[in-house]
Amino acid sequence: MSPAATATQRLALRGDLLDFSAAPALDATSMHGVRWRADHWLLIENGRIISAQPAAQMPDPSWQRIDHSGRLILPGFIDTHVHSAQLDVIGSYGTELLDWLNTYTFPAERAWADAELARSGSARFLDALLAHGTTAAVVFPTSHKTSVDALFGAAAERGMRMIAGKVLMDRNAPDGLRDDVELAERDCRDLIARWHGSGRNSYAVTVRFAPTSTPRQLAMAGALCASDPTLYMQTHVAENRAEVAWVAELFPAARSYLDVYEDAGLLHRRSVLAHGIWLDDADRARLQSAQAQIAFCPSSNLFLGSGLFDWQRSADAGVAVSLASDVGGGTSLSMQRTMADAYKVQAMAGRRLSAWAMLHAATRGAATALQLEHEIGSFDAGRAADVCVWDWGVGEVAQRRIAAARELHERVFCWITLSDERCLVAAYVAGVKQG
C-alpha cells in the first residue's frame, strides 16, 4: 500500500523545531540562517508541511495531535553517498581502498545478482537508514539490474526519496560484476524508463570509478547524461593516493582524475562525486563551474586511511559539499556520527565546524546541492513531510551534558557529538510514521 493511502490527512507534531532558511558559514555559531522554533506545532496535511505555530495555538480537533514537548524535531537526514550492498562488510579489518574493494566489497556485491537476496537486502538497508533518521539517500546498489529494481521497489514501498542507478564496471573487476558497454546501456535505459521520475525515485548514471570503466563505457555514460538533463550522475573521485596514481596510468592524457569525468561529459549540476580529497584548485574551479557537488565521507576516509578532506578550501572555491556515511567504508549509517567525524577531520586542519554547518549539510544543504530544495531538507511550506523526532539525550552522561549547555549552539553541538540512532523517537516519510 502506498504511503499516501495510509497517511493521516492532518497531523500536528509538537516539539522544538530546527531547520535552516539559508546556509551558515562553516565556523559560524551565530543564528544566521538558523530557524529555531522552540515548542511549536509542525502542521502536516496530506504528507506535506503546511506551517508551524506556537504551542499555545492548539490545532483544532480535525488534526491528529502528537505531543513531543521537550524533544528535537528535524528534517529527515539526506545521505548523499552510501552503498546498499555493503552492510555486511562494515568494519572490515586491515586494508586501504583498493585492497578493501577486492577483499571485501566485490565479493559482497557479487551475491546481489540473486533477486531474492537483493530484495531482502534492499529492504534491510532502507529500514536501517530510517532507523538512523535518514529519509533520503543517493545510493550505489551493484552492477546487477536486479539490485536496482529491488532498491527502487523497496524505496517506493516506503515512500522514500531515492537516487540510485546500476553500477557501471566493464574492466578491472571480477567475474560476476563486470558488464559490457552494450549490455550496460540497455540495462540503464530500461531502468531509466521504469524508475526515473516514478514516485520519489530518480535515476543516477552510476560509474563506480574511472579505473573500472573503459573510455568507451565512460563515453556511453556521458551520452546518457546528455540525453536527459534530469538524470543524476554519481561516482567516486580522488579518494586515495594509490587510486589517483592508478587513474593517471590508465588515462595518461588527462590532466587530473576529475578531467577524466569532465572529458566524458559526466560533470554537471546533478553530479555527486564522493570524497574529492586529492583534488587541486583547478579541479575545484571546474566543480564550481559545473555546479557539481562533493559528498564528504569523513568516517570512511578516516577508517580506510584515505586522507583528510579540506572542506574550507572547497567552500572558498564555491563548491557545494554535502555529508555522506559511505557505508560500508564508513562505519555507521548515523549522520550524527558522520558529523562528529567531519568535525574531527576539519579540526586536524585547525578549523572548527559549527553545529549549524554540519546539520545544514545533511539537510537543506544536501537538498539544495541535489536540486531538491523545493521538495526536502527543510520545514518550508509545501515540502514533503520527511521529519524525524529525537530525544536530546539518552543516558545520564549525554543528558547531564546537554542540560549544562549554556546556549543553543552548544546544546545542538553536544547533541551531535553525543547522540546516535538510540535517540530517534519517530521517523516520518511524507507524513507516514515508519517502523
pLDDT tens for the chain, residues 1 to 435:
344 445 669 999 999 999 999 999 999 999 999 999 999 999 999 999 999 999 999 999 999 999 999 999 999 999 999 999 999 999 999 889 899 999 999 999 999 999 999 999 999 999 999 999 999 999 999 999 999 999 999 999 999 999 999 999 999 999 999 999 999 999 999 999 999 999 999 999 999 999 999 999 999 999 999 999 999 999 999 999 999 999 999 999 999 999 999 999 999 999 999 999 999 999 999 999 999 999 999 999 999 999 999 999 999 999 999 999 999 999 999 999 999 999 999 999 999 999 999 999 999 999 999 999 999 999 999 999 999 999 999 999 999 999 999 999 999 999 999 999 999 999 999 999 998
For residues 203 and 196, give the distance between their C-alpha atoms in angstroms, rounded to a whole number. Answer: 5
Q: What is the pLDDT of residue 6?
A: 57
Is 340 part of any domain?
no
Give me the number of domains the chain comprises: 2
Q: What is the pLDDT of residue 94?
A: 87
3-state secondary structure of 75: strand
Contact 161, 135 (CB under 8 A): yes
Phi, psi (5° rounding) for residue 248? -60, -35
Is 192 part of any domain?
yes
Is 343 part of any domain?
no
Q: Report which of 135, 93, 79, 121 is spatially closest to residue 326, judged by C-alpha positions.
A: 79
Q: 301, 333, 365 — which closes off a domain?
A: 333
Same domain, 156 and 28: no
Same domain, 115 and 59: no
Same domain, 36 and 140: no
3-state secondary structure of 334: coil
Q: How many residues does the chain have?
A: 435
Same domain, 172 and 284: yes
Is 232 part of any domain?
yes
Same domain, 188 and 82: yes
CB atoms within 10 A of CB 53: 15
Q: What is the pLDDT of residue 4?
A: 41
Q: What is the pLDDT of residue 115?
A: 96
Same domain, 35 and 180: no
Q: What is the pLDDT of residue 2?
A: 45
Is 396 part of any domain?
yes
- The H or E element that residue 37 is part of is strand 34-45
Q: What is the pLDDT of residue 400?
A: 96
CB atoms within 10 A of CB 375: 18
Q: Give the CATH number for residue 393.
A: 2.30.40.10
Residue 98 grid cell: 583498493
Q: What is the pLDDT of residue 152?
A: 98
Phi, psi (5° rounding) for residue 387? -135, 140
Contact 127, 101 (CB under 8 A): no
Q: Give the CATH number for residue 258.
A: 3.20.20.140
Same domain, 276 and 241: yes
Measured CA to CA in angstroms, residue 432 lies from 44, 46, 212, 412 at distances of 10, 10, 40, 26
Same domain, 69 and 150: no
Is 108 part of any domain?
yes
Same domain, 323 and 393: no
Contact 221, 207 (CB under 8 A): yes
Same domain, 65 and 81: no
Same domain, 34 and 88: no
Is 342 part of any domain?
no
Per the confidence metrics, is the pTM higher than 0.85?
yes
The residue segments making up the domain with residue 392 are 3-76+384-433
Contact 32, 1 (CB under 8 A): no
Same domain, 225 and 299: yes
Pairing of strands 320-323, 387-390: unpaired
Is 181 part of any domain?
yes
